[in-house]
Structure 1
Amino acid sequence: MNNSTFEKLQYNELKEIVKTYCVSGLGKKLIDQLEPSSNMKAVKNRLNETTEARAILDAEGHVPFLGVSNIESIIQKLEKGLILDPSDLISISDFLRGCRRIKKFMQEKVFFAPILASYANSMSEFVKVEDEINFSIKGNSVDSAASKELKRIRNNIEAVEGKIKDRLNKFLNNSANKTYIQDFFISKKDDRYTIPIKASFKKQVPGAIIEVSSKGSTVFIEPNTVTKLNSELASLKAEEAMEEYQILATLAGMILENIYEININMELISQYDMVFAKAKFSKQIGGVEPKLNDFGYIKLVQCKHPLLTGEVVPLNFEIGESYRSLIITGPNAGGKTIVLKTIGLLTLATMSGFHIIGDKETEIAVFEKIFVDIGDNQSIENALSTFSSHMKNLSDIMRVSNNNTLLLFDEIGSGTEPNEGAALAISILEEFYLMGCITVATTHYGEIKRFSEMHSDFMNAAMRFNSETLEPMYRLIIGKSGESNALWISKKMNIHENILQRAKEYMENKEYRLEKVNESAIRKPKIVKVKAEERVNYQKGDRVKLLDLDNVGIVYKEIDQYFNLVVFYNGELIEVNEKRITLELKAAELYPDGYDLDSLFVEYATRKLERDIERGSKKALRKIQKEIRNNRE
């Protein structure tokens, strides 16, 4: 397996959908890490888990995951020696309570789900830890009942605060102070009780200025009458913080003592969350557990691609028993690529423990490796052509494939000259067959279809196509080659019947009609020769104006028998007729005597040719072949 296979077959998209059914980050993390297994026993166990979870959902309708959340970050803080805050402790308490409920729930489902129920036996309960946390922490803060000392300190705090408020209220109610007071209420600033005083009277009120308003019009003064009490209150607050710390540390210590068992609980809850997410997805799609084998046999019965929506035509498919390679033909947009993706994704899904959409008679093989070559992998960076890119991909696949490999190839051998492409594709398919691979490939090439018909371990298949409406039917028929839709389409477009009949004959054999037309029956066009004196004698290096482009270029190749020239323009060599240019300056006026005009073009032409060869340009190849022939002559 590799990331390219997962991307091309949309495996990660399927995982993202299943992940939405998780109730916590624990299960989501496991699904992110999930990959198809090539181990038959592991795949069978995964499918059994999903099937059992589905049976529980069908019977119960839900699983009590309430309170279960991802406490991994909290446990990490604890393992680093940090003291947990009250909200963290509540999260751990909720998690432990959730584990206890899941354990009880699963142990009662041993009849429905013996495998899943057995996992619960490894789950530990921590009722004492739960009770201690819930007794000591209430409302996300340490409760006064957590210790006698904390209760005593808080009672003293309450008493001191009461005295402070009484004295400040007397200050507010004293008529002698009304002139000084900005607002008639007690304000707490920096944990000290103050009175808002007008800034202009701050010296008339004995006390300490704790804060000044943003505009400077108000000062918050702690009157001398409460200074001692405020200091006493600050001391009590420090004692309270110390006692709370001791309580939190004690609770953290209790959790740390059981950290190993709690981590096991986290792993089991993660597993349950992932398995039940698979089961919820199965219930949503009406999924089934397919049969399994490890000898390359795939049988899809009424199966559907799990990511397609709307009216999806089910797929019936078989390979690996009476033939090990299948060649699919049919029109563009006829569904061939979807067939490949459906086969690949259903296989990956099964090997991951997902149920699939299909009949219960469906059977999936567990492969060690799955590779695909679908779509255009052309790379701009390395200037590889589409064909070159596909060949590189196939070469890489061939290097690592074995007799337990599933191969899915879309339009194998395309992107080059048809005869060479078909021959190369046949040779590649034959090599993969000899390696023992299971191969499904799509093609338009008739030669590949004919090879498949002749080989006893190859089979043809076709996508059905309505020849009257020219619409694809998205149904695969194994044992039949695709018809030539080109003839049907041409007939619909009113191409003469005699042309269609001749094309049909040419398809069946290569005996072309080579009779020569009677020249007297040809009406030759009148060639109007331009008088020599009316034409400009263009020479290499002349600067000319291109009338169609309203710009200038340099003559590269002089006029030929058809009155065309090759002009270097905007970094390219273009062919134009002499009527489409006018002379601006002769080369003799532009360059000194003895100037090497070739230096203007050779570097560019050579560079362009090399670049064209690198990207597999047919034009460049033909040019080289022509030069070789000329040299031989």
Structure 2
Amino acid sequence: MNEKILKTLEYGRVKGQIKPFLSTVAGEYELAALMPTTDATTMQQWLSETADAAKVLRWQGGISIPKLADVKPHMQRLRINAALSGTELAQVGRILFTTGQIRAFFENLVADRGEELPALARYYNQLVLLPELTRRVNVAIDGDGRLTDEASPELHRVRQAITGTENAIRQKMQDYTRGKSAQYLSEPIVTIRNDRYVVPVKATYRQKFGGVVHDQSQTGQTLYIEPADVVDMNNRLREHYLKERQEEERVLIELSTMLEPEADNIQNNAGILGHLDFVNAKSRYAVEIRAIEPEFSAENHVRLLKARHPLLDAQKVVPNDIVIGEDYSAIIVTGPNTGGKTITLKTLGLLQLMAQSGIFIPVAEYSTVGLFKEIFADIGDEQSIEQSLSTFSSHMVNIIDILSGMDKDSLVLFDELGAGTDPQEGAALAMAILDAVGETGAYSVATTHYPELKVYGYNRADTINASMEFDIDTLRPTYKFMIGVPGQSNALEIAKRLGLPTSIIASATALTSDDSQELNDMIADLVSRRNAVLTQQVELTQKVIENRQLKNEYETKLAVIDDQRAKSIEDAKKEANHIVAVARKKTDKIVADLHKMMRDGATIKENKIMDAKGALNAMHEEPSAANNRILRKAKRAKQEPLSVGDTVLVREYGQQGTIVRVLKDDKFEIQLGILKMILAADEVEKQQSAPVKETKQTRKHSKKSHVNTNKAINRAEASATLDLRGVRYEPAMAEVDRFIDKALLNNLSSVEIIHGKGTGAIRKGVQEYLRSNSQVQSFKYTGPDQGATYVQLK
């Protein structure tokens, strides 16, 4: 990506906003080196890493990484067998300790949440744990780089000796500061000169003290004397200090030697921690600017919904939809100055750069981004006095560079294309430049004031007009970006409202061409129609929200009723089964008695016994395994996959729509007339299209004939016979209900229900149902030989 576009679109300022969220030097290095990628796989990987970091931010408040220094120079010194200082070892110790903490943090988080973080797992799983080395370094070195007493037994012993000697010296010196000798002191204190304990003695009493003079005051009135009876003690203290320094140097060398074999692992761990810090900063920045992860379009369809410029105040900026690549590859933007045209250009370019850097962008859900190998921009007044170039010449030099460097994978942004010269020539030049860009297949967005480009945008293929809305009543821009509507010239209207004499307005109107007036009238009508559609869409959206709320309330109440009904049925079945079980015990006894009678010589037919027992067994009903809602869910799971262009039924409204875009999370954008809705898969049902071949003769039939034909077809398809043999009682009753309804809908006058002989339970149930149905005129049982019931419908 060229450096000029990064500067023009202020890419560096975005990185500057991320920097405060970093806590490691390695993370700062990675941010400084960050550039937009031109590889689709890398871009998606970066976005996935930021998405995983955003999950961690929601779950645990982010990845907690302390301040970490750059240890790369330390590792280079270890490789040449140099010893590290205490401060350097403390910095390495923090890396070692943080490595263990971060590895454990992610492993515990994934285990607790039961959800993987695949994009970040490739990093934290590479962290090399060095527990023994971590313990050794952090026990020996404190956070300030000072060796602790536990660094070695010898160091501990020497420091104890130093403490004991210092205490003895202080106690001896108190004899001078509190005893009779205190009168000879300038101050009753003990101080240090040349690393030895001394007292401040008045110069006139020098002879009262033996010992060694180490210093004097500037006036010479005070001498700093080491008393003779503490000289030996100070000498021993000095020896202890030397031993301490030697032991500290030995420990530092020992620790450095232990670290040297792991220098590569430590440096890699530091780099991974820096990268985790970097993605954590990107996720925190996304929360700061209310940004989300965009979807990647392999077809390079850019669809930025409610896009905001990240460097502007989110409370004040007007969000706009910017779409390019799907239906058109060039946009001509017209409108008044200070209306927001340039900001719209920069928003498009900067958000695309951010996405290609793995940074979330401030847009609405379901926004998509493409991938561009280069983004070029000619924005702003680049007049150069040093090169003796006018504004027009400077723009032309820039445009020439753009034309020579672009290809089909480029996005080109032109601000005030063709400005700075004769309007007629400038407009012609602008159209020629846009044609040249279009021939390469590159995307382009150009702002202009030339009315000729409005006609160009209307007539050229893959090109569309757009504008920034202007409120005539307030004489202020609204900063709303309107795709498909060219900008309207408001100069005369503004001048009139500002008080310019009507005679001048009339003269100017007379001088304006009819074509220009007609174009302005057409644009005004387009704006009016667009606003009316938007108002209607808002109203429809509000109604959709209200209907969904009502639907949710009804579904909740229905679920409660279904649960209560299911429970009542289950309780009734259990009670009935209990009664049947008691009756069965009695029957079994009777049957046993009958068998006994048979054995005793009585004449009893075996089939009579089995028929009686079978009738009793048929009375037992098993509790249902699942309710209707679960069955409905299972049915939806078997539904064919949905794709763009499919016709679906929106269950909530009973209306058919067309899928125009497949979104993530199993959701779809569906066109219902002028209204577009985003619905989940379980809210729609795919409709099977059944094309009907029409002949000329068929098309001449009247509407009535067509309806009658459909009814005839339905009757032909409707079955007049229902076979319930082998079906259990409860499903059989439900099947009878559906069968009779279907027969009535298809105007059948009579039907036949076959239930067989069996125990007679199905036959009785069918006849009870027919007797209670008001649409049944009469029914007749055909007898046990046929095992069917003939039904006459009204």
TM tier, smaller? 0.7 to 0.9
Give the Å deviation of 1:299. Answer: 1.5
AA of the residue aligned to 2:384:
S
Question: Size of the alignment, in residue pairs?
Answer: 509
Structure-2 residue corresponding to 1:454: 459
Which of residues 335, 339, 343 is equivalent to 1:338? Answer: 343
Task: Go from structure 1 to structure 2 and tell me whether the alpha carbon gap of 1:379 and 1:79 turns closer, same or farther (over 3 Å shift).
Answer: farther
Give the Å deviation of 1:416. Answer: 1.3
Contact 2:75-2:264 within 8 A present in 1 as well = no
AA of the residue aligned to 1:196:
P
Task: Go from structure 1 to structure 2 and tell me whether the alpha carbon gap of 1:67 and 1:383 turns closer, same or farther (over 3 Å shift).
Answer: closer
TM-score, structure 2 length as denominator? 0.61
Structure-2 residue corresponding to 1:304: 308
1:15 and 1:409 map into 2 onto residues whose CA distance is 25
Structure-2 residue corresponding to 1:115: 119
AA of the residue aligned to 2:507:
I
Structure-1 residue corresponding to 2:469: 464
2:282 and 2:171 map into 1 onto residues whose CA distance is 64
Structure-2 residue corresponding to 1:437: 442
Report the secondary structure of 2:376's partner residue: strand
How does 1:579-598 map onto structure 2 within 5 Å?
Answer: none
Structure-2 residue corresponding to 1:505: 513
Contact 1:109-1:117 within 8 A present in 2 as well = no
Report the secondary structure of 1:236's partner residue: helix
Deviations 1:578-617 (A, max 9, x none): xxxxxxxxxxxxxxxxxxxxxxxxxxxxxxxxxxxxxxxx
RMSD between aligned alpha carbons? 2.4
Give the Å deviation of 1:83. Answer: 3.5
1:6 and 1:138 map into 2 onto residues whose CA distance is 44
Report the secondary structure of 1:445's partner residue: coil
2:220 and 2:80 map into 1 onto residues whose CA distance is 47
Contact 2:304-2:368 within 8 A present in 1 as well = yes
Task: Go from structure 1 to structure 2 and tell me whether the alpha carbon gap of 1:470 and 1:203 turns closer, same or farther (over 3 Å shift).
Answer: same
How does 1:473-552 map onto structure 2 within 5 Å?
Answer: 473-492=478-497, 493-494=499-500, 495-496=502-503, 497-505=505-513, 508=516
Query: Between the two proteins, what is the percent identity of the paired residues?
Result: 33
Structure label with greater radius of gyration? 2
Structure-1 residue corresponding to 2:56: 56
Give the Å deviation of 1:507. Answer: 5.5
1:108 and 1:165 map into 2 onto residues whose CA distance is 54
Return 208-217 or 389-398, whichever deviates more.
208-217
2:150 and 2:107 map into 1 onto residues whose CA distance is 36
AA of the residue aligned to 2:464:
M
1:211 and 1:72 map into 2 onto residues whose CA distance is 46
Deviations 1:448-476 (A, max 9, x none): 22222221232211111122322212122
Structure-2 residue corresponding to 1:278: 282
2:161 and 2:481 map into 1 onto residues whose CA distance is 84
2:221 and 2:378 map into 1 onto residues whose CA distance is 77
2:143 and 2:380 map into 1 onto residues whose CA distance is 58
Give the Å deviation of 1:81. Answer: 5.4
Task: Go from structure 1 to structure 2 and tell me whether the alpha carbon gap of 1:67 and 1:281 turns closer, same or farther (over 3 Å shift).
Answer: closer
Structure-1 residue corresponding to 2:572: none
Contact 2:11-2:350 within 8 A present in 1 as well = yes
Deviations 1:392-439 (A, max 9, x none): 111111221111110011001111121222122222111111122111
Task: Go from structure 1 to structure 2 and tell me whether the alpha carbon gap of 1:453 and 1:90 turns closer, same or farther (over 3 Å shift).
Answer: same
Task: Go from structure 1 to structure 2 and tell me whether the alpha carbon gap of 1:292 and 1:138 turns closer, same or farther (over 3 Å shift).
Answer: closer
Give the Å deviation of 1:52. Answer: 1.5
How does 1:210-609 map onto structure 2 within 5 Å?
Answer: 210-309=214-313, 310-492=315-497, 493-494=499-500, 495-496=502-503, 497-505=505-513, 508=516
Report the secondary structure of 1:20's partner residue: helix
TM-score, structure 1 length as denominator? 0.76
Give the Å deviation of 1:195. Answer: 1.8
Structure-1 residue corresponding to 2:162: 157
Task: Go from structure 1 to structure 2 and tell me whether the alpha carbon gap of 1:239 and 1:64 turns closer, same or farther (over 3 Å shift).
Answer: same
AA of the residue aligned to 1:252:
S
| Residues 1:84 and 2:88 aligned together | no
Report the secondary structure of 2:213's partner residue: strand
Task: Go from structure 1 to structure 2 and tell me whether the alpha carbon gap of 1:398 and 1:68 turns closer, same or farther (over 3 Å shift).
Answer: same
Which of residues 122, 128, 132 is equivalent to 1:124? Answer: 128
Deviations 1:548-593 (A, max 9, x none): xxxxxxxxxxxxxxxxxxxxxxxxxxxxxxxxxxxxxxxxxxxxxx
Contact 2:43-2:355 within 8 A present in 1 as well = yes
Structure having the higher helix fraction is: 2
1:257 and 1:391 map into 2 onto residues whose CA distance is 60
Contact 1:491-1:500 within 8 A present in 2 as well = no
Give the Å deviation of 1:498. Answer: 2.8
2:261 and 2:304 map into 1 onto residues whose CA distance is 53
| Residues 1:37 and 2:37 aligned together | yes
Deviations 1:236-278 (A, max 9, x none): 2111100011112211222222111111111111111111111
Report the secondary structure of 1:258's partner residue: helix
Unaligned runs of 5+ in 1: 510-633
AA of the residue aligned to 2:247:
E
Give the Å deviation of 1:204. Answer: 4.7
Report the secondary structure of 2:333's partner residue: strand
How does 1:51-200 map onto structure 2 within 5 Å?
Answer: 51-66=51-66, 68=68, 70-72=70-72, 74-75=74-75, 78=78, 82-110=82-110, 111-138=115-142, 140=144, 141-172=146-177, 175=180, 177-178=181-182, 180-200=184-204
Greater relative CO (CA pairs within 8 A, separation 6+): 1
Give the Å deviation of 1:443. Answer: 0.1
Give the Å deviation of 1:77. Answer: 5.6
2:511 and 2:218 map into 1 onto residues whose CA distance is 93
Give the Å deviation of 1:366. Answer: 0.4
Task: Go from structure 1 to structure 2 and tell me whether the alpha carbon gap of 1:12 and 1:173 turns closer, same or farther (over 3 Å shift).
Answer: closer
Return 324-333 or 314-323, whichever deviates more.
314-323
Return 439-448 or 494-503, whichever deviates more.
494-503
Deviations 1:102-161 (A, max 9, x none): 112223445241221232111011221221123223474322332232233233334443
Give the Å deviation of 1:168. Answer: 3.5
Task: Go from structure 1 to structure 2 and tell me whether the alpha carbon gap of 1:81 and 1:479 turns closer, same or farther (over 3 Å shift).
Answer: same
1:162 and 1:13 map into 2 onto residues whose CA distance is 59
